[in-house]
């Protein structure tokens, strides 16, 4: 009997990397996207690659009756379940993708006589709220979780609950009242006549930072076992503060290329968008001026943080994070920018000035502290802000005119900000933040053809964090 392992992968193929790190050879990889297949083939050249729709692939072409599927990993598209979708209409064709996993398992059983011994699934936490959609593409609130329960029931031995007995025809299989997916694409309702697959099942939500990845990406993970044994999940190896004998979370600062700090926001031919400038100013206030322990770059010439290119939910809030923490969840578009504030020692002459005297003349040269001050005044907004043409208002005991005068107290020493640099995070940095190994190739295919940056970022954003696949598989394959 030949053991075959399958990855119905997403994005850049992080699950396959994790499978291999767990000692599981990846024999077959399936994805509908040719670009994703190319990246996967570049890094997993010995795997059989199928560029096919997961709802259409016929595994009887690649499996024999004498084969056995040992491990199958599946990461169905999560975009129409994710909260990141906001209030936009959902796409039912994407929401039903978990049923393709049911279909493949049943197909494997028909070919080999057995279910996969282990099936692992990954998705956003909101998959557990999966339910029918209205005609406008919005979830039916009173049916929250109904489709999820039906799917899990069909994969296991649970009871099935039917809430539609209408004679619809499913456009996928064209069999009235005999839909092989138990879920009708046309009407969003389930059918009652699909066989249970009788896996043992368990699921949980896990944060990748708790297992040594420099990202706080949190996902729903499910384990299905056909060997009758108990489902297991790994114990964390890291924690935010490193308590209880665990290691501390790995910060994103460990994967940033500190030889490239970007370029000055003041020396650009085209000024930054006002929203971007506001994000930078709010970030400087939150992550540098008001921070108890701002991050200092290795050369100690600047302090840095990250901003996110998402809409702020609260006016004046800073959408971003310190670099002392793991990177938050990476999506399919590059939403993170590195902001670096160059600092210099604070003196009462030269570039700086005392807080007990009127503000010195504002200069127009990029990087001069007066210009930085004016920038911050403009974008902080709110009460208490004064014109830079006026004498400095009343001084508080905490040098709160750091909001104007950029006077920073860092580890007991006074500094002023002399310039601000900005750049987007690079695909290589996002790759490492997602937990991929250094030698994982994302910038070209196996024939040497270069990938656009947009494609590189998309593959990373859609991928499984490799270490999560590794530790979950190892927890169940120990014996």
Q: Is residue 295 part of a domain?
A: yes
Q: Are residues 273 and 415 in the same domain?
A: yes
CA 129 to chain centroid, in Å, comes to 19
The DSSP-derived string for 284-331 is HIIIIIS-SS--B-TTSSEEEEEEE-S--SSTT---EE-TTS-B----
pLDDT on residue 69: 96
Q: Is residue 336 part of a domain?
A: yes
Q: Which residue has better confidence, 23 or 180?
A: 23
Q: Are residues 316 and 386 in the same domain?
A: yes
Q: How confident is the model at residue 78 (pLDDT cuts 50, 70, 90)?
A: low
Q: Is residue 376 part of a domain?
A: yes
pTM: predicted TM-score of the whole model, two decimal places: 0.83
Q: Is residue 92 part of a domain?
A: yes
Ramachandran angles phi, psi of 182, nearest 5°? 60, 20
What's the structural domain count of the chain? 2
Q: What is the mean pLDDT of residues 227-245?
A: 94
Q: Is residue 435 part of a domain?
A: no
Q: Is residue 190 part of a domain?
A: no
| 340-366 confidence digits (pLDDT tens) | 988 887 765 444 444 444 444 334 343
| 115-136 confidence digits (pLDDT tens) | 999 999 999 898 888 877 777 7
Q: Are residues 120 and 239 in the same domain?
A: yes
Which of left, alpha, beta for 363 (phi over 0: left; psi -120 to 50: alpha)?
beta
Q: Are residues 320 and 240 in the same domain?
A: no
Q: Are residues 204 and 289 in the same domain?
A: no
Q: Are residues 121 and 241 in the same domain?
A: yes
- Write out the residue range of the structural domain in which residue 462 sits: 2-160+196-245+444-477
Q: Are residues 142 and 232 in the same domain?
A: yes
Q: Are residues 151 and 47 in the same domain?
A: yes
Highest mean pLDDT among 34-48, 292-306, 332-346: 34-48
- For 458, the token pair is 């998309």
50, 57 Cβ separation under 8 angstroms: yes
> Which CATH number does the domain housing residue 117 bear?
3.40.50.150
At residue 478, the 3 state secondary structure works out as coil
Q: Are residues 276 and 411 in the same domain?
A: yes
Q: Are residues 398 and 460 in the same domain?
A: no
pLDDT on residue 361: 39
Q: How confident is the model at residue 384 (pLDDT cuts 50, 70, 90)?
A: very low
Q: How confident is the model at residue 317 (pLDDT cuts 50, 70, 90)?
A: low
Q: How confident is the model at residue 478 (pLDDT cuts 50, 70, 90)?
A: confident
CA 462 to chain centroid, in Å, comes to 7
Q: Is residue 188 part of a domain?
A: no
Q: Are residues 336 and 460 in the same domain?
A: no
Q: Are residues 230 and 92 in the same domain?
A: yes
Q: Is residue 366 part of a domain?
A: yes
The DSSP-derived string for 320-332 is EE-TTS-B----S
């Amino acid at each position: 009997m030949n053991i075959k392992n399958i990855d119905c992968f997403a994005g850049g193929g992080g699950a396959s990397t994790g499978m291999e790190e767990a000692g599981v050879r990846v024999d077959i990889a399936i994805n509908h996207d040719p670009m994703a297949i190319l990246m996967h083939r570049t890094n997993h050249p010995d795997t059989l690659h199928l560029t096919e729709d997961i709802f259409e692939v016929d595994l009887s072409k690649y499996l024999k009756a004498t084969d056995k599927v040992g491990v199958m990993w599946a990461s169905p598209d999560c975009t129409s379940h994710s909260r990141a979708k906001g209030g936009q209409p959902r796409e039912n064709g994407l929401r039903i993708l978990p049923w393709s996993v049911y279909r493949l398992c049943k197909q494997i059983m028909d070919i080999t006589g057995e279910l996969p011994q282990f099936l692992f699934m990954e998705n956003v936490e909101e998959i557990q709220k999966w339910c029918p959609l209205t005609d406008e593409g919005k979830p039916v609130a009173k049916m929250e979780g109904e489709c999820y329960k039906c799917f899990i029931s069909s994969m296991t031995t649970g009871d099935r609950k039917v809430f539609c007995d209408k004679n619809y025809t499913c456009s996928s299989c064209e069999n009235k009242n005999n839909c092989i997916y138990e879920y009708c694409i046309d009407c969003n309702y389930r059918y009652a006549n699909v066989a249970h697959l009788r896996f043992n099942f368990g699921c949980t939500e896990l944060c990748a930072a708790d297992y040594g990845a420099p990202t706080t990406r949190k996902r729903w993970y499910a384990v299905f076992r056909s060997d009758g044994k108990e489902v297991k999940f790994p114990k964390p190896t890291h924690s935010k503060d490193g308590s209880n004998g665990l290691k501390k979370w790995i910060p994103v600062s460990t994967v940033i290329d500190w030889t490239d700090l970007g370029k000055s926001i003041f020396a650009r031919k085209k000024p930054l968008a006002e929203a971007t400038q506001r994000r930078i100013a709010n970030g400087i206030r939150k992550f540098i001026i008001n921070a108890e322990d701002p991050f200092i770059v290795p050369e100690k010439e600047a302090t840095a943080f990250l901003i996110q290119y998402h809409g702020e939910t609260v006016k004046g809030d800073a959408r971003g994070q310190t670099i002392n923490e793991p990177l938050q969840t990476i999506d399919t578009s590059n939403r993170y920018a590195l902001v670096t504030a160059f600092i210099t020692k604070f003196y009462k002459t030269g570039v700086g000035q005392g807080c007990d005297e009127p503000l010195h003349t504002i200069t127009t040269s990029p990087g001069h502290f007066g210009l930085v001050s004016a920038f911050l005044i403009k974008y902080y907004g709110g009460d208490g802000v004064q014109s830079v043409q006026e004498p400095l208002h009343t001084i508080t005991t905490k040098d709160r005119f750091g909001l104007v005068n950029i006077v920073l107290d860092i580890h007991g020493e006074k500094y002023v900000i002399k310039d601000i640099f900005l750049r987007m995070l690079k695909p290589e940095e996002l790759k490492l933040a997602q937990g991929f190994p250094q030698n994982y190739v994302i910038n070209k295919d196996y024939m040497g053809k270069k990938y656009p940056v947009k494609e590189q970022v998309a593959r990373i954003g859609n991928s499984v964090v490799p270490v999560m696949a590794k530790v979950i598989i190892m927890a169940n394959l120990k014996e």
